[in-house]
């Protein structure tokens, strides 16, 4: 089983995260931020990743540090769990509908962390959650995981649906990209011989 565990303690947050790529979608998530808990529960379920997260952060300031640090830890856990990346599909994409929203995600497990983000969420808040933190989460994840990640809204008017579609679509793209490709068994999926 491909697993990654990360502990990160700063003056702003205390995060403990464990990830199993070859899981069943089980999750046990308590970030202190209800909306993020909801998104990460969906992420685990749609990616068939087993995910456990505990975060205590300076939420009296706002959710920014917690959201960013959880993105950092999830990215680091993906990086650890992928190991040498032998035999993985590497590339994947998913266009996912969520009611009126339509979200495209595409990933390349390249070793070069990069985020291309174009969700255009129409409201500043989703409930009490600052919607611009969604980009901060995915930026931290992409950098730390070494994954190139594109997230784009093709359609959508409801902020919650757009955000939810993005987490579900990203999870399904990542699940396909980390899956084993029988034709590439034992091989690094790069002409460079390393990712």
Domain housing 157:
3-184
Is 192 inside a domain boundary? no
Question: Contact, 74 vs 174, CB < 8 A?
Answer: no
Alpha helices (H) in the chain, listed in sequence order = 34-47, 64-82, 133-145, 159-178
pLDDT of 1 = 85
Return averaged pLDDT per consecutive 10 residues of the chain, 195 residues in all: 96 98 98 97 98 94 95 98 96 98 98 97 97 98 98 98 98 98 85 79
pLDDT of 50 = 98
Is 142 inside a domain boundary? yes
Counting the structural domains of the chain, the total is 1
φ/ψ (deg, to 5) at 188: -85, 125
Query: How far is the CA of 49 from the CAs of 22, 24, 39, in angstroms?
Result: 6, 6, 13
Chain-centre distance for alpha carbon 136: 11
pLDDT of 23 = 97
Is 190 inside a domain boundary? no
Is 103 inside a domain boundary? yes
pLDDT of 109 = 98
DSSP code of residue 21: T
Question: Contact, 23 vs 49, CB < 8 A?
Answer: yes
Is 129 inside a domain boundary? yes
Is 46 inside a domain boundary? yes
Is 194 inside a domain boundary? no
pTM strictly above 0.75: yes
**CATH number, residue 30:** 3.30.230.40
């Amino acid at each position: 089983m491909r697993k990654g565990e990360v502990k990160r303690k700063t003056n702003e947050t205390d995060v403990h995260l464990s990830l199993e790529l070859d899981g069943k979608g089980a999750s046990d998530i308590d970030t202190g931020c209800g909306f993020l808990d909801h998104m990460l529960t969906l992420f685990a379920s749609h990616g068939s990743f087993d995910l456990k997260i505990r975060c205590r952060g300076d939420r009296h300031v706002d959710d920014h540090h917690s959201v960013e640090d959880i993105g950092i830890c999830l990215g680091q856990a993906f990086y650890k769990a992928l190991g040498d990346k032998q035999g993985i599909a590497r590339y994947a994409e998913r266009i996912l509908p969520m009611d009126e929203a339509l979200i495209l995600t595409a990933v390349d497990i390249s070793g070069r962390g990069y985020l291309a983000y174009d969700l255009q969420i129409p409201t500043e808040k989703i409930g009490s959650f600052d919607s611009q933190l969604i980009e901060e989460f995915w930026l931290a994840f992409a950098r730390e995981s070494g994954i190139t990640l594109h997230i784009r809204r093709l359609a959508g008017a409801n902020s919650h649906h757009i955000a939810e579609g993005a987490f579900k679509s990203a999870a399904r793209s990542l699940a396909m990209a980390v899956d084993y490709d029988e034709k590439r068994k034992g091989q690094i999926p790069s002409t460079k011989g390393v990712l």
